[in-house]
Each structure stands twice: as structure tokens, then as C-alpha cells.
Amino acid sequence: MVAGSTGRVVPAWRGAWLRVEGYWAWYRRYWRSNVYSTGLQPLLFLLAMGLGFGSQVQAGPATGGLSYVHYIAPALLVSAALQNAVGESTYPVLSGFKWQKDYLAVTATPVTPGQVLGGHLIWVALRLLLSGSVYALVAIPFGAWLNAGAVLVVLVGTVTGLACAAPVTALAATTYDEGVRFNAVFRFVVMPMTLFAGTFFPIGQIPLAVRWLAWISPLWHGNELARGVTLGGLSPAAALGHLAFLAALFAIGAVLARRYFYRRLVV
């Protein structure tokens, strides 16, 4: 599995996949301790908010005439994917630079910083696909899905998660001190986004003066897409717009992250 000892450069994708293989070797040993983030978290929210809180909610215009569990099931997947993606791109990335220093170790081999970043993003995507699929399957017996569009929701969740993973990875690559920054991201960005980006209630209930905050949040775009592919009512133009927003966020984040990875790893 080693690229030879000639000092040859590893082909671009192969280097990234070697990193993924490394993550997988770790995950195979420790998957049990990740059961919570692998599908269980959104399921717990589905039970508590969809069924428990939902039992208090009358189906009405706010939920598009649907029962509450159908209304929030797709959005919960996207929201959990986003939280997982941000989680995987903060402390684990800083740890690669600072505590475990595996990024430094890997870039001492012919694998480049860009490939380290690529491997990280591919791994996040695979984790999101896995956890999304687990949730989609386990939620079936609870009557969460109206149709097979749930399969597409898994993809929407992955795309939304990646759109956030890239910029957060860039942030982590410029972070040297664990103190405040990640905390601020969780508390001032992720948490308000989870509450106010249309996951639990339509953003139409938010006063117009601050509603634009929901519009610029990636989670809202993900939620709209996810509801669109399972519950319908999404025009192709709007879908393209949402996708374009997420893709742009990912692209900007990835370019910045690549620059910072090189800056920090190439001495």
C-alpha cells in the first residue's frame, strides 16, 4: 500500500484516499464510541420533538398541513449533518495540527497538505452519508417519511454538511489556541442556526428585520432542499439557487482551507 520509497509524488486522489483509509482504520476500532453521532442524535430529536412535542402541535398552515413529525424529519437530518460536519472540522482538525500532530507526520511522507485536506473532506462526506443513511433507515418504523425521497434527503444532508465543513476547516487551520474560537462558532453560529433556520418552525414566524439571517444560513438552504425532495413544492429554479449557494460556500471554504493547510504544513 505504500507509494514506494523513491520520493515520487503520490497522485492527487490517491493521497487523499490513503488518508481516508487511515481514518477508516481508526473508525473500525472506535465506531462504538461514535454511535451517537452516527445516526442516533437525529433519531433522539425525532422522538422528542417530532413525536413528543409534535403530539402537542396541530397540523396547520405553519407545517404545510402535515403532521409535525413529517414536517421536521427531513430538516432534522440536515441539521444533524451540519452539526456533525462542523464538529468533525473543529477540534479533530486542530488536533491534527497541534495535539496528535498526524497532519505533520503525514506531510513528512510524499502526501501533500492539499491531499490531507482532501482526505479530511472526503472522510467527512463519508461519515455524513453513513450517519444520514442510518437515521433514514431507523426513522422508517417511526413513520417519519412520506415517500422514498428520504434517500435524496441523505444526499442533501451530505452536501449541506460539506458546505459548512470546508469553511470551518479553514478556520481550524488558522486556529492555534483552543480557547474561544470554536466555542464562539458553536454558540453564535451553529446553535442559533439550528434554532432559527427553519428546522423546527417556518422562518416566516421570524420578524422580517432579522429574517435575512436565516436566508444567508446554509442550514436554511439545506432544509428547503430536504423538504423539497420529500414533501414537494420546490421549483427547479429555487432548488438550483439553494444548491448554488451551498456549492459556493464549499468552494470558498475549500480554497481558503487549502491555502492555510499549505501555509501551516509547508515549512
> How is residue 142 written as a grid cell?
417511526
Residue 35 or 240: which CB sits closer to another protein?
Answer: 35
Q: Tell me, what amino acid is at 165? A: A
Query: Mask: binding to another protein, 220-259, rule CB under 8 A, as x and -?
Result: ----------------------------------------
| Element of type H or E holding 78 | helix 68-89
Taking CB under 8 A as the rule, does residue 45 contact another protein? yes
- Which residue in the set 3, 22, 24, 47 belongs to the binding site for another protein (CB under 8 A)? 47
Q: CA angle, corner 32, sides to 180 and 78, nearest 5?
A: 60
Measured CA to CA, the distance from residue 71 to residue 207 in angstroms comes to: 21
21: Cα separation from own chain's centroid: 20
**Least gap, CB of 239 to another protein (angstroms):** 25
- Which residue in the set 108, 180, 237, 266 belongs to the binding site for another protein (CB under 8 A)? 180
Query: Mask: binding to another protein, 87-126, rule CB under 8 A, as x and -?
Result: ----xx--x---x---------------------------
Measured CA to CA, the distance from residue 182 to residue 146 in angstroms comes to: 37
Q: How far is CA 88 from CA 91, 93, 117, 264, in A?
A: 7, 7, 13, 19
Largest Cα–Cα distance of the chain, in whole Å? 68
Taking CB under 8 A as the rule, does residue 30 contact another protein? yes
Taking CB under 8 A as the rule, does residue 142 contact another protein? no
Q: Please, which residues have CB within 8 angstroms of residue 173's CB and are 6 or more apart in sequence?
A: 93, 97, 257, 260, 261, 263, 264
Taking CB under 8 A as the rule, does residue 62 contact another protein? yes
Taking CB under 8 A as the rule, does residue 24 contact another protein? no
**Residues lying near another protein in the complex (CB under 8 A):** 30, 33-37, 40-41, 44-45, 47-49, 52-53, 55-58, 62-63, 68, 91-92, 95, 99, 178-180, 183-184, 187-188, 191-192, 195-196, 200-201, 205-207
